[in-house]
Structure 1
């Protein structure tokens, strides 16, 4: 039962943040980065680093979504910050978006993301 509730909650959360992400994607990213590492490895690293409660406190949330083309998105609750990861050869292209790019939390998330490249 708990598993069902978790799955439904995640599905609802993904449905709520998608319009916010689409709006952000209509503008240029806060930062564009690249990594020589494979996309799944970079995505898991970002997700793990964004879940660090010692850095982000109670707002330490991160989720990964993979679409059919292989693009992965790591995002926070409410899509305050998210990163689109696209495979490029053997590496990964990363587009980082933040609702408020000068916000301290958004800058910390960008710094944590950079450690995964």
Structure 2
């Protein structure tokens, strides 16, 4: 039952976050990065890093879903920050988007960078 509730909550969050992410994707990413690691490994690492309560406190939620154009997307509640992780010829490409250019966005970028 608990798994069903978590799945339902994640589905609802994905629906709400979807339009915010689509709007953000029409803009230039906050930061574009690359990695030699496989896409799935990087995406799971970012999700885990963004869930660190010692760093992000109560706002340490991070969700992983299939990407809009392949790959994966890791996002936070209300899509305040998200990263599209896709495979390319040289490894993995990451497009990081942040709603605000503040210390939280920079902290999430730093956590993301540990996964490269």
The TM-score bracket by the shorter chain reads over 0.9
**Which runs of 5 or more residues in structure 2 are unaligned?**
none
Query: Kindly tell me: are residues 94 and 67 of structure 1, through their superposed partners in 2, closer, same or farther at Cα, counting changes over 3 Å?
Result: closer
Partners of 1:46 and 1:3 in 2: how far apart? 22
Q: Is the 8 A contact 2:46 2:74 kept in 1?
A: yes
Q: Does 2:108 correspond to 1:109?
A: yes
Counterpart Cα distance in 2 of 1:109 and 1:90:
24
Runs (5+) with no aligned partner, structure 1: none
**Matched position secondary structure for 2:86:** strand
Measure, in 1, the Cα distance between the counterparts of 2:3 and 2:46.
Answer: 24
Alignment of 1:6 with 2:6, yes or no, is yes
Q: Residue 34 of structure 1 corresponds to which residue in structure 2? A: 34
For the 8 Å contact 1:38–1:90, the answer to whether it is kept is no
8 A Cα contact 1:32 1:95, kept in partner? yes
CA RMSD, 1 decimal: 1.3
What does 1:19-58 correspond to in 2, within 5 Å?
A: 19-58=19-58
Q: What TM-score do you get using the length of structure 2 for normalisation?
A: 0.95
Distance 1:68 1:15, change over 3 A: closer
Q: How does 1:20-99 map to 2 (within 5 A)?
A: 20-67=20-67, 70-89=70-89, 91-99=91-99
Q: Structure 1, residues 14-63: CA drift from partner, whole Å, max 9, x if none?
A: 00000000010010000000001100000011011100000000000101
Question: What displacement does 1:85 show?
Answer: 0.6
- Does structure 2 conserve the Cα–Cα contact (< 8 Å) formed by 1:37 and 1:90? no
